[in-house]
Amino acid sequence: MPVRLIESLATTEALDEVFADVSVLEAMLAFEVALARAEAQAGVVPAEAAIAIAAAAKVEAFDIAELARQTLRGGTPGIPLSKALTERVKASEPAAAGFVHWGATSQDVADTALVLLLKKSKGILETDLARLETALLKLSEAHARTVMLGRTLSQPAPPVTFGLKAAGWLGAVRRSREDLEQSFSAALIVQFGGASGTLASLGDRGVEVARALAAELTLDLPEAPWHTQRDRLARLVCACGVLCGSLGKMARDVTLLMQGEVAEVAEPGGKGRGGSSTMPHKRNPVGCTVTLAAAQRVPGLISTFLGAMWQEQERGVGGWQSEWPVVAHVIQSTGLALASMAEVAEGLTVDATRMRANIDATRGLIFAERAMMLLGANIGRDRAHQLLEEATRRSIAEGKRLAETLISMPEVTNHLDAGTIKGLEVPEAYLGSAETFRRNLTEDCTGKEKD
């Protein structure tokens, strides 16, 4: 099923399917079936009832539109679902109908269904995370010695390597992956507490049924029901927000490097990708665009989730009802950003010649710091700084290279010879610990030891 047009820039097809109506209904029915089976194992309901409930819980037998209408009237999807399932069971096995939703409450259905959807999402996100990490590692290694302008406050600065820049992106992605793994691990738990979180209706069988229910759904069992304790889900959506922010940073860097005046990298192109409806020459940063859109959208969604965390007593009013669409949009936006940047990284064109040309275009001014440090060792940093400020102003005014200007200044040549001054403008000689830092950021991915 294709993504709705209005959401075509907000999700991927795979994640749209995860949160589609059919998938949501499947998850809720999976809870009801697993509950019946768990209770049959514990001797709480007859085995025949569990069989009848499973037979009746077929997605195609339910009117999803009507369930949605009744959910609005009931304030929760669990009420119309249990009623509709009870009617389905009653039609074939009347004696079993009374055991539908036995001992559960509506929030048990809603929360566990959401967790099951998150479980599906986890694998999709992991696949694209792996793609992105692999692509960024390849870029970093291939361009370990590709020099380019550093840019601070959007102005030219001493050189860096593109390999280090890619490694910086990679490090942030890898750290987010670790946080995301931990957050998913904490969130993929069953919700089963009954009316007020004590499972009192099941007598002394509550924990036994809960354990069997978790096993049926292949979810972890928390230490207690978590009706109004939303910290695990909050941790997950916040981890998605941090990842989206890091992906947005990468996307912003790439878009700036793609500007015509810079032209150091380019997103992959192809038929229908990155064009303009009116300007045939355009190659727009499409992947970066949708990623930045996601990075802008997600913080507001997270704020909404966090603002609904203070859910009162044993079941809140309006708090958890707000979560389904919020969590779905956060996961979908994160997945879209991940898939988009994986595609960008896998097909990114890097123009090392242009990077070198942009360095040369500064006429050596970006090496003023290097000259200042060398000169400062002889005359002190403050005086050296003053001389280099004067030299850079003269270079700009006269259209000369910095080295030419420095050679014409006796106070400089009294301490630095012409050969040293001319050698200032070799970018490879002023990279400091760039390669060490690059390797530090990538070593966990390669498995290599530090030297």
Q: Residues with catalytic annotation? A: 276, 315
442's tokens: 């990538």
401's tokens: 């290279």
Between CA 343 and CA 335 the distance in angstroms is 12
Find the Cα–Cα–Cα–Cα dihedral 202, 205, 211, 217, rounded to 10°.
-40
Cβ within 8 Å of residue 223, ≥6 positions away: none
Between CA 175 and CA 274 the distance in angstroms is 30
Best CA proximity match to 53, nearest among 19, 211, 198, 61? 61
Our measurement of the distance from residue 213's CA atom to the centroid of its chain's CA atoms, rounded to an integer in Å, reads 31
Best CA proximity match to 59, nearest among 100, 35, 29? 29
- Contact present, 40 and 96 (Cβ < 8 Å): no
User: One-letter amino acid identity for 179?
Assistant: D
Between CA 52 and CA 29 the distance in angstroms is 13
436's tokens: 């060490």
Between CA 347 and CA 131 the distance in angstroms is 12
